[in-house]
């Protein structure tokens, strides 16, 4: 069975959802290509994101495999859909948290906060799965109201409460790196650019709110059309979440394929300028390890700025002396590119 696409109310959301599912799949493929091209190993966040796109494929198949007039099939769809949605979103959020943990590896209290948020996300998904199973007794009463003695709790209220908690977990996950980014020794405009890169996902919170609005309109006694808008937002949200989670790795691939366009240039003194800042988890000036960012004179700092592919594995290394003479070096392994870290006491003015 498939949707009758002659109805605009059905056709338009189906087209939009299909486009974004294709984009989510494309960014995941590019993520895998990025890992293969750079010859690095798959990490936990990569496996989680791949699992999310696999389950998202199941969501998309379910969302089109129903006729609008088929009430029973629509209700069966709802029963299977919500747990799949919860697992997909949980996998994406856990992938992002694991990515954060790699970026802020040297910050112990960040790891503790990340583990707490990770546990909250997992608990949220488990609650949705279990509640979907126990909300109606017997289970078949979810789609067959003719069963004698069957009873269901308030399904709309349950969806609203779990969706509200979904928004809370969105904010928790996206807010994790902000305090640590704010502590970096950077000009305000640069710090704002980095915060923007980490905070693009806040747009997903807006989608989650639209999903809550759609849930309020669900009528389980006539679900064929009232479920449609909710299913649309519930499909679009994980698509955008997967795309957002893949973007750092996609940029890493672009850095490898076109470093002159997407990379931070590390070159001659005549074409670049050096700026050193304390790294995440670094100590005070003169003691903490700094991030050496080489950029073109014509670039803005945000354009040449800190890549989201940093893997904070700082090895024992050398430093630069007061006058810039090299005594030691520290290299940080990154998934996108190896970037040199250094101590610096130079106070060159940024233009």
Do 209 and 64 reside in the same domain of the chain? Answer: yes
Which residues pair with residue 136 across a beta bridge? 152
Q: Specify if 289 maps to a domain.
A: yes
Of residues 114 and 225, the one with the higher pLDDT is 114
Residues 121 and 177 in one domain: yes
How confident is the model over 174-188, as pLDDT tens digits? Answer: 888 888 878 777 677
DSSP string, 262-329: HSPP---TTTEEEEEEEPTT--STTTS-EEEEEEETTS-TTTT---TTEEEEEPS---B-TTS-B---
Q: Would you state the structure tokens that stand for residue 249, as one six-digit string?
A: 């790795």
* Domain ranges, residue 250: 8-257
Bigger pLDDT: 338 or 263?
263
173: left (phi over 0), alpha (psi -120 to 50) or beta: alpha
The residue among 90, 82, 21 whose CA lies nearest residue 51 is 90
CATH number of the domain that residue 230 is part of: 1.20.1070.10
**Token output for 116:** 């707490």
Report d(CA 270, CA 46) in Å as an integer.
39
Is 110 inside any structural domain?
A: yes
Least confident of 64-68, 256-260, 332-336: 332-336
Q: Are residues 203 and 336 in the same domain?
A: no
Answer yes or no: is 1 within a domain: no
The number of C-alpha atoms within 13 Å of 62 and in the hemisphere containing its C-beta is: 24
Identify the domain boundary among 213, 234, 257.
257
Q: Are residues 15 and 105 in the same domain?
A: yes
Highest mean pLDDT among 51-60, 117-126, 286-295: 117-126
Helices (H) and strands (E) in the chain, counts: 10, 7
pLDDT tens digits along 263-318:
544 443 433 333 333 333 333 333 333 333 333 332 323 333 333 333 333 333 34
**Domains in the chain, number:** 2
Confidence (pLDDT) at 169: 93
């Amino acid at each position: 069975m498939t949707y009758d696409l002659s109805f605009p109310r059905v056709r338009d959301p189906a087209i939009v959802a299909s486009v974004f599912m294709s984009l989510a799949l494309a960014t995941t493929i590019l993520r895998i290509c990025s890992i293969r091209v750079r010859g690095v190993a798959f990490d936990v966040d990569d496996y989680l994101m791949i699992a999310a796109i696999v389950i998202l494929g199941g969501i998309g198949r379910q969302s089109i495999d129903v006729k609008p007039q088929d009430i029973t099939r629509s209700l069966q769809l709802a029963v299977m859909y919500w747990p799949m949605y919860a697992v997909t979103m949980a996998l994406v959020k856990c992938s992002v948290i694991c990515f954060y943990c790699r970026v802020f590896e040297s910050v112990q209290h960040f790891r503790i906060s990340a583990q707490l948020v990770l546990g909250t996300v997992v608990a949220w998904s488990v609650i949705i799965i279990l509640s979907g199973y126990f909300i109606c007794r017997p289970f078949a009463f979810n789609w067959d109201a003719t069963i004698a003695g069957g009873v269901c709790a308030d399904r709309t209220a349950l969806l609203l409460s779990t969706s509200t908690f979904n928004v809370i977990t969105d904010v928790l996950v996206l807010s994790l790196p902000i305090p640590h980014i704010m502590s970096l020794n950077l000009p305000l405009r640069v710090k704002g650019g980095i915060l923007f890169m980490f905070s693009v996902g806040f747009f997903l919170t807006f989608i989650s709110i639209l999903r809550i609005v759609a849930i309020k309109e669900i009528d389980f006694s006539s679900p064929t059309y009232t479920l449609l808008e909710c299913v649309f937002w519930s499909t679009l949200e994980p698509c955008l979440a997967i795309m957002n989670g893949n973007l750092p790795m996609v940029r890493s691939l672009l850095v490898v394929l076109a470093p002159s366009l997407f990379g931070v240039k590390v070159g001659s003194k005549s074409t670049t300028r050096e700026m050193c800042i304390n790294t995440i988890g670094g100590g005070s000036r003169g003691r903490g390890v700094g991030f050496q960012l080489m950029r073109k004179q014509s670039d803005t700092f945000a354009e040449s700025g800190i890549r989201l592919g940093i893997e904070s594995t700082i090895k024992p290394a050398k430093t630069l002396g007061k006058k810039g003479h090299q005594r030691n070096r520290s290299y940080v392994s990154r998934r996108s590119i190896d970037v040199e870290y250094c101590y610096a006491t130079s106070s060159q003015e940024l233009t």
